[in-house]
Homo-oligomer: A and B are copies of this chain.
Amino acid sequence: MIKQSKVTMKNLADELEISVSVVSRILSGKGAAYRISEETQKRVQETAAKRGFTVNQLARGLRLQRTHTIGLLMPDISNSIFSMIARSAEKAFRRNGYSTILCDTANDGEVEKQALGLLHDRSVDGILMAPVGGESQYIKAIFNHGFPIVLVDRFLDDLKIPYVTSNNYQGAYDGVLHLIDHGHRHIGFLQGIPDSKPSSERLRGYRQALQDHQIPFDARMVQGGKFEDHDGYISAQILLNYAERPTALFSCSSVAALGAMKACMEMNLRVPEDVSLIGFDEYPYASLLATPLTTIAQQTGALGEGASQMLLDWLDSGNPPESASVVLDTELHVRASVARVSNSEK
């Protein structure tokens, strides 16, 4: 068999001795609309199939100014919460005919900025992202241009950019309350990226819970700055070396809580007898740990699905979502890492 040249519409048209327009119309499902004869339709479809024709999405995108491509920006896809989000988003996109361009920003604002530019150059139709943190002029500019963008997990303050996230404030409040109910008054706080909403909102919940129980806030009790296990490990060491050692640690991520657990182990502190521990994010194997970890579970699946659906609706309808935000409840999963504070401690 002779090596076929690439099969294009022009190609098929020549072979069938008809014009490209007809081929295009038939192959993009508009045969009926143009009342093209049954016969030609059949002929075209058959040879297209035989030759293994598929449309060139590049050319199509260029012509239509619509690529059916979505940019997905995640701060760290090795973190299970983001890999879950990525998984469900990519699936939803694909099912709706969109391809996903992935960028892992590694929690780096500079990378995020570049990635945003890159996605623009590739003419994506929309963007789903968990921003690195704080303020981003770029993101706002994109949104202000009317470009479809929705945020997931993390979001930004002052604009109406649609987002789906968890009720971080309430979740943290509940968790800290759980600790307070167990008699803890010295509670360390392992924060995530400080100017990210999840971290700042959780801190707000922490402070409110303290205040509601007449426990003074001590800035020294707030440590760390990433949602990573090693960060939790280091921060826990700092906190647990204080002369007045905290009796409990509240962590903004489950992986940081695991890091803290490791620190405790190395410092010969028992969890929960010596230190109680609680972590945001569910952790699938929490119950298999030496001390099963009490967690504040997010609805991970709903985060990814909700956000991607919001974006798809936007792309579909051409209009941004009515209600710009969805906030999902969290759930406290009580396991064994929180104990009543012993009497020997104040």
Contact = CB atoms under 8 A, between A and B. Distances in A.
Within the oligomer, what is the number of copies of this chain?
Answer: 2
Contacts of A94: 103, 115, 118
B78 A91 contact: no
A319 to B, nearest CB: 20
Contact of A120 (B54, B122, B287): B54
A202 interface: no
Given A83-B83, A100-B101, A102-B86, A122 B290 contact: no
A120 B54 CA distance: 9
A80 B78 CA distance: 7
Interface string A65-88: 001010010001110100110110
Nearest to A114: B94
A258 interface: yes
A58 B123 contact: yes
A288 interface: yes
Contacts of A120: 54
A268 interface: no
Interface in A20-67: 54-59, 61-62, 67
A269 interface: no
A101 B101 CA distance: 4
A99 interface: yes
The listed residue with most B CB atoms (<10 A of its CB), out of A69, A261, A288, is A288
10 contacts: A55-B121, A58-B61, A58-B122, A72-B102, A78-B80, A83-B83, A87-B104, A94-B115, A100-B101, A290-B290
